[in-house]
Amino acid sequence: MKIRLGPKDILFPIPAALIVSGDSKKPNIITVAWIGMVSITPPIVAISIHKSRYSYKLIKKYNDFSVNIPSASQFHEVDYCGIVSGSDRNKFTDTNLTPLGSDKINAPIIKECPFNLECKVIKKFKISEHTTIFGEIVETHIDKDKIGAECGTGIDISKVDPLIYCSTIGEYWSIGKKIGDSFKAGIKIKEKIIREK
């Protein structure tokens, strides 16, 4: 049996990311859970930020940002970066996170985050008080020890252990174990349908 919750009760899990804006002299971190891939060719990621946020002003000024995917063990730092303003505090100093220079953008990446994306803003779309910012991914970085031997050059998600956020209940989770492969897991159903024709 299902029950209705209403449109504001968004319970589905989403990644929690640390977005860095600004430049190497004065970088800022904001925690964002409103994030997702919207295109592969070209690779585009979208984030939504309230227009009153300090990070929004920095992204508008520099026209770029980095997306840094933290591990589940970094949830204290992630939460802190979401509850304190960078206009008042240096979040890198406060959390002992390290800014590393990016290759193609002004905003640094975060050394301690296992996976990082450098993004250049290509479009902004205002929705109420939030603005969705579309960034083209121009470079990616991953910790060498997070590459899976069986994956070749692919990411071993169990080693990255990305942090998951459930917004309405306000909880952080880790993802657990691999259960299957995309574009392969559904083949059994597809083959069964073909056999039954």
CA nearest neighbour of 37 among 109, 112, 140 = 140
| pLDDT score of 187 more than 60 | yes
**Number of independent structural domains in the chain:** 1
- Quick check: is 183 in a domain? yes
- Quick check: is 131 in a domain? yes
Domain that holds residue 31: 14-196
- Quick check: is 146 in a domain? yes
- Quick check: is 108 in a domain? yes
Q: What CATH number did the domain enclosing 143 receive?
A: 2.30.110.10
**Vertex 129 angle, CA 126 and 133, to 5°:** 40
* pLDDT value for 190: 84
Q: What's the CA gap between 179 and 102, in Å, rounded?
A: 34
pLDDT tens-digit map of 16-58: 999 999 999 999 999 999 999 999 999 999 999 999 999 999 9
Mean pLDDT estimate for the chain:
90
pLDDT tens-digit map of 85-126: 999 899 999 999 999 999 999 999 999 999 999 999 999 999
pLDDT tens-digit map of 57-88: 999 999 999 999 999 999 999 999 999 999 98
- Quick check: is 41 in a domain? yes
pTM over 0.85: yes
- Quick check: is 140 in a domain? yes
pLDDT tens-digit map of 112-123: 999 999 999 999
155 DSSP assignment: B
